[in-house]
Amino acid sequence: MRQLTQFDRIWSFLAKGSRPIPAIVLVAVATTLWFFAEREGDKVMTGDAQAGVAELWPDARYNRDAEMISSKFALGVDILNVIAEAGPSACTTSYPAMELIDRFAWHMRNVEGVEQVMTLPIAAKLVYAGYNEGNARWRTLPRDGDSLRLATQSFETDSGLLNSDCSAMSIMMFLSDHKATTIDRIVAAVKQFREANSAYDVNFQWSVTRRSQPLPQKRAKSGIPMPSICALLLATSV
């Protein structure tokens, strides 16, 4: 009985919301909040407002080490992955697909905020040059299928660069930070390249990682029609 008595005032206050005038005020406030949320919802950032891991203090050892690595080396601790989907055995039989992925890597390497890019074509060019006395003039993708197979045969799936049948290849982008502005800039660059090269049989899709996971979710949420959202909220309230 003592517990019930302590909550009597709370329940009495909440019960006032069922009266006509307080109910009208509550509905008006809720409608106003919904209006501003609807107008500003698409402006929510994907990423963080500042450099470093948001879960840690700015002067934490990890954040300081990450800043030092990004400032001293052409590398970063934040990674965004894009998956290039092509046909089976594309890395050994399709020079056009490999060349397109290589051009995509060059395109992304010139985006502000991207420190380094690693792909299977980049690694294959280094291997192919190694088979030719390390001559820099051979650091290119061979057009011949046998030579292309020779340059890529040593890479296993645990490298993270390809899957078992080489129908999907990963493009790993090392970022200087994971600020919202940096991520938005990279997303726009990926979209621009994908639209400009839509005629090729290579599909660039975001991989699910810690940084890239919110990107498809944000696109999916932005595409949900408003009647569906209202129906969901109505069903939840009932």
User: Cα–Cα distance between 137 and 140 in angstroms, integer?
Assistant: 7
User: Cα–Cα distance between 182 and 216 in angstroms, integer?
Assistant: 16
Task: Record the tokens describing residue 139, joined without a space.
Answer: 């650091």
Crossing angle of helices 95-109/120-130, nearest 10°?
110
Alpha carbon distances (Å) from 140 to 40, 125, 153 = 48, 5, 16
pLDDT at residue 58, as a whole number: 72
User: Cα–Cα distance between 210 and 115 in angstroms, integer?
Assistant: 18
The helix (H) or strand (E) run that includes residue 28 is helix 20-40
pLDDT digits (tens, 9 = 90+) for 143-155: 988 899 999 988 9
In what order do the strands lie in the sheet containing 114-118?
114-118, 168-175, 78-85, 203-206
Has residue 1 got a pLDDT over 60? no
**pLDDT confidence tier of residue 214, bands split at 50, 70 and 90:** very low
The pTM for the full model equals 0.67
Has residue 49 got a pLDDT over 60? no
HEC string of 199-222 equals CCCCEEEECCCCCCCHHHHHHHHH
Q: Quote the Cα angle for 199-209-47, to 5°.
A: 95
Lowest-confidence region among 66-70, 78-82, 89-93, 223-227:
223-227
Instruction: Using the structure block, give the residue that is written with the tokens 């307080």.
Output: 22
From the number of C-beta atoms within 10 Å of its C-beta (0-12, 13-18, 19+), residue 49 rates as: exposed
Domains of the chain, by residue range, sit at: 2-43, 61-221
Has residue 229 got a pLDDT over 70? no
**pLDDT confidence tier of residue 104, bands split at 50, 70 and 90:** very high
Has residue 238 got a pLDDT over 50? no
Q: Which string of b and e fits 6-28 if b means at least 16 CB within 10 Å?
A: eeeeeeeeeeeeeeeeeeeeeee
pLDDT at residue 16, as a whole number: 79
